[in-house]
Chain A
Amino acid sequence: MKRLLLFTFLSCCLLSFDQSVAQTVPDKKITMRLDSARFNDFVKQVESQTGYYFYYDATRFDSLTLDLNVTDLTVREVLDQVFRGSEFEYAIDDQKRIFVTQGQRIITQLQPGLFNPDAAIDGSGITYEGPDDAMKEKLLSSAESKVHDIGIKKHRITPGNSTMTGYVRNAITGEPVIGAAVFIDSPSIGVTTDALGLYSLTIPRGKQVVRIKSFGMRETQRQIVLYSNGKLDIEMRESVIALKEVSVKAGMDKNVVSTQMGQVKLNIKNLKQVPTVFGETDLLRTIMTLPGIKSVGENSTGLNVRGGSTDQNLILYNDAVIYNPSHLFGFFSAFNPDVLRDVELYKSTIPSKYGGRLASVLDINSRDGNKKKYVVSGGIGLLTGRLTVEGPLVKDKSSFLLGGRSTYSNWLIRALDNPEYNKSSASFYDVNLHVNHEINEKNSLFLTAYTSDDRFRLYGDTLYTYQNQLAALKWKHTFNTKFYSEYTVSHSKYQYAMGASGLPLNSFDLKFNIQQSNFKADFSYVLDPRHTLDFGLSSIYYKLSPGTFTPRGSESLIRPDELEKEQGLESAVYIEDKFEVNPRLSLTGGIRFSFFQYLGPKTINKYVPGFPIDYPYQDGTETFGKNKKIQNYGGPEFRASMRYSVLDNLSLKVSYNTLRQYIHLLTNTMSVSPTDIWKLSDRYVKPQIGDQVSLGLYRNFRGNKIEVSLEGYYKNIKNFLDYKGGDSLIMNHDIEAAVLNTNAKAYGIEFMMKKMTGKLNGWISYTYARTLLRAVDRESADAPNDGNYYPSNYDKPHDFTMITNYRLSHRFSVSLNFTYSTGRPYTPPIGKYYIDGAQRVYYADRNQFRIPDYYRADFAMNIEGNHKVKKLAHSSWTLSVYNLLGRKNPSSVYFQTKDGQVNGYQLSIFGQPIPTITYNFRF
Chain B
Amino acid sequence: MRDHLLKLSFIILVLVLNSCIEPFSPPEINSPDRYLVVDGFLNASNDTSWIELRHSQNTNDNATYSVESGARLTVESEGGSIYTFAEYGSGRYRLLPINISPADKYRLRIKRTNGQEYLSEYVKVSLTPPIDSINYRYDAGRDAMVIQVNTHDQTNKTQFYRWKFEETYQYRSAYISSLVYNPETKQIDYRNEDINLCWATKKSNTIILGSTIKLTSDIIKDLPINVVAVNTNKLYIKYSILVKQYGLSQEEFEYWTNLAKTTQGTGSLFDPQPSQVTGNIKNVADVKELVFGYFSVSKEEKKRIFMTPYLGQFPRCDPPDTVSVGDYMNSPAGYLMHYHGKNQDTLIRTSYGCADCRAQGGTTVKPSFWEF
Contact = CB atoms under 8 A, between A and B. Distances in A.
Interface of A: 299, 328-329, 331, 412-413, 416, 420-421, 424, 426, 456, 458-459, 462, 464, 498, 500, 502, 506, 508, 510, 608, 611-612, 614-620, 668-671, 673, 675, 722-730, 780-782, 784-785, 826-838, 840-846, 849, 888, 890, 892-897, 900-912, 914
B251 A781 contact: yes
A616 to B, nearest CB: 5
A903 B2 CA distance: 22
Nearest to B260: A726
Interface stretch (B128-136, B172-180, B262-270, B338-346): B262-270
Contact of A844 (B17, B21, B28): B28
Contact of A841 (B11, B31, B263): B263
Given A842-B292, A904-B25, A834 B37 contact: yes
B272 interface: yes
B213 interface: yes
In the A-B complex, the 5 residue pairs with the closest CB atoms: A725-B275, A619-B214, A726-B261, A902-B59, A906-B24
B266 A829 contact: yes
B14 A299 contact: yes
B210 to A, nearest CB: 8
26 contacts: A421-B15, A456-B9, A508-B2, A608-B214, A668-B273, A671-B269, A722-B273, A724-B261, A725-B262, A781-B257, A781-B277, A784-B276, A785-B276, A828-B267, A829-B267, A830-B31, A832-B59, A834-B65, A835-B54, A836-B207, A840-B259, A843-B274, A844-B28, A849-B28, A895-B267, A905-B24
Given A833-B37, A892-B269, A840 B22 contact: no
A669 B270 contact: yes
A308 B165 CA distance: 48
Contact of B14 (A420, A611, A909): A909
B60 A901 contact: yes
B296 to A, nearest CB: 12
Interface of B: 1-3, 5-6, 8-26, 28-29, 31, 33-35, 37, 39, 54-60, 62, 65, 164, 203-207, 209, 211, 213-214, 251, 253-255, 257-259, 261-277, 290, 292-293
Nearest to B12: A458
Contacts of A785: 276
Contacts of A299: 14
A904 B26 contact: yes
Nearest to A903: B23
A309 to B, nearest CB: 14
Given A670-B269, A781-B255, 20 more contacts: A421-B12, A426-B16, A456-B13, A458-B5, A506-B1, A618-B214, A619-B214, A669-B269, A727-B272, A728-B272, A782-B275, A785-B276, A830-B31, A835-B293, A842-B276, A844-B276, A890-B24, A901-B62, A910-B18, A911-B18
B252 to A, nearest CB: 10
A725 B272 contact: yes
A724 to B, nearest CB: 7
Contact of B16 (A416, A730, A844, A900): A416
Nearest to A852: B26
Given A781-B254, A829-B59, A846-B273, A838 B18 contact: no
A139 B319 CA distance: 106
A907 B24 CA distance: 9
B21 A905 contact: yes
A830 B28 contact: yes
Nearest to B268: A894
B6 A673 contact: yes
Nearest to B18: A912
B271 A894 contact: yes
Contacts of A328: 13
Contacts of A840: 259, 263, 292
Contacts of B56: 831-833, 842
B313 to A, nearest CB: 24
Contacts of B253: 616
B214 to A, nearest CB: 3
A617 B213 contact: yes
Given A828-B29, A906-B24, A510 B2 contact: yes
Nearest to A842: B276
Query: Which of A412, A827, A838 has the most CB atoms of chain B within a 10 A radius of its CB?
Result: A838
B208 to A, nearest CB: 11
Contacts of B31: 830-831
B205 A905 contact: no
A539 B10 CA distance: 38
Query: Which of B24, B60, B261 has the most CB atoms of chain A within a 10 A radius of its CB?
Result: B24
B5 A500 contact: yes
Nearest to B62: A900
Contact of B19 (A832, A834, A907): A907
Contacts of B205: 837-838
Contacts of B254: 612, 780-782
Query: Which of B9, B62, B164, B290 has the most CB atoms of chain A within a 10 A radius of its CB?
Result: B9
Contacts of A828: 26, 28-29, 267
Contact of B23 (A462, A620, A831, A904): A904
B275 A726 contact: yes
Nearest to B211: A616
Given A616-B209, A782-B275, A842-B277, A908 B20 contact: yes
Nearest to A832: B59
B194 to A, nearest CB: 30
A829 B29 contact: yes
B261 A727 contact: yes
Contacts of A614: 257
B52 to A, nearest CB: 9
A901 B12 contact: no
A841 B59 CA distance: 8
A893 B271 CA distance: 11
Nearest to B17: A909
B56 to A, nearest CB: 4
Nearest to B33: A831
Contact of A830 (B17, B59, B213, B264): B59
Nearest to A912: B18
A299 B253 CA distance: 40
A400 to B, nearest CB: 36
Contacts of A849: 26, 28
Contacts of A894: 267-269, 271
Contacts of B258: 725-726, 781-782
Contacts of B58: 831-832
A462 B264 CA distance: 26
B19 A909 contact: yes
A205 B111 CA distance: 93
Query: Which of B26, B39, B254 has the most CB atoms of chain A within a 10 A radius of its CB?
Result: B26
Contacts of A329: 10, 13
Query: Which of B20, B31, B205 has the most CB atoms of chain A within a 10 A radius of its CB?
Result: B20
A901 B29 CA distance: 12
Nearest to B37: A833
Given A725-B275, A909-B19, A675 B6 contact: yes
Contact of B24 (A827, A904, A909): A904
A826 B16 CA distance: 25
Contacts of A618: 214
A510 B3 CA distance: 12
Contacts of A896: 266, 268
Nearest to B287: A786
Nearest to A508: B2
A299 B277 CA distance: 32
A618 B58 CA distance: 38
A907 B267 contact: no
Contact of B273 (A827, A830, A838, A841): A827
A669 B272 contact: yes
Given A900-B62, A907-B19, A910-B19, A837 B264 contact: no
A836 B270 contact: no
A549 to B, nearest CB: 9
A895 B276 contact: no
Contacts of A412: 16
